[in-house]
């Protein structure tokens, strides 16, 4: 039986590329959550005012990968200390946020925010924790972006170093290539 996790930590393309390579993650979809507009377009989200965050929605097998491990990867691969910003991406759509589906996910996320993340980062953690309500998939051209566009400048400069870090730090957890 699979479970789902919805996480926002800046660019969804980065997290999509990372989680797609992890054993036990069965599906990764880029999209939006946490806003007030039904079925928002990318343009609406980036113009501001919808309240949505860029997120990845993961479908995973908890017998293979735990929610705690998913959260560990989340905190290792983005900066949870910058409010509404990841590197050059600025705006509330790039906020660090965990949308929990169950009380257990809420408790595990709260624990990760309070204990694990501060062990990695010296500045205060600003990751938000909110109940999950809806997920809106991003446009089709946005899905699987890194795999479709490995030679794009953004992929080479921003995502490739994260993939290299993933291979070094989490090699035992990677899907066979």
Gap between the Cα atoms of 157 and 46, Å rounded: 22
SS3 (DSSP) at 7: strand
Catalytic residue among 5, 7, 9, 11: 11
By DSSP bridging, strand 89-90 and strand 85-86 are antiparallel
155 given a catalytic annotation: no
> What is the DSSP code string of 107-172?
HHHHHIIIIIHHHH-SSPP--EEEE---EEEPPGGGTTHHHH-TTSHHIIIIIHHHHHHHHHHSGG
Gap between the Cα atoms of 90 and 22, Å rounded: 28
Q: Find out whether 52 and 60 touch, Cβ atoms under 8 Å.
A: no
Q: What does DSSP assign to residue 173?
A: G
Which residues are identified as catalytic? Answer: 11
């Amino acid at each position: 039986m699979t479970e789902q996790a919805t996480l926002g930590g800046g660019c969804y393309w980065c997290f999509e590329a990372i989680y797609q390579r992890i054993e036990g993650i069965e599906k990764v979809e880029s999209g939006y959550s946490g806003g007030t507009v039904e079925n928002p377009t990318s343009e609406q989200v980036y113009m501001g005012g919808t309240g949505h965050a860029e997120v990845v929605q993961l479908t995973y097998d908890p017998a293979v990968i735990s929610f705690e491990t998913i959260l560990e990867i989340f905190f290792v691969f983005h900066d949870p200390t910058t409010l509404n910003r990841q590197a050059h991406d600025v705006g509330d759509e790039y906020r660090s946020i965990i949308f929990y589906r169950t009380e257990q996910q809420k408790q595990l996320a709260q624990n990760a925010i309070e204990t694990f993340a501060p062990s990695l980062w010296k500045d205060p953690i600003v990751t938000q924790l909110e109940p999950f309500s809806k997920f809106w998939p991003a446009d089709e051209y946005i899905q699987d972006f890194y795999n479709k566009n490995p030679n794009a400048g953004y992929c080479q400069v921003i995502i490739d170093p994260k993939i290299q870090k993933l291979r070094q730090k989490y090699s035992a957890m990677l899907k066979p290539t």
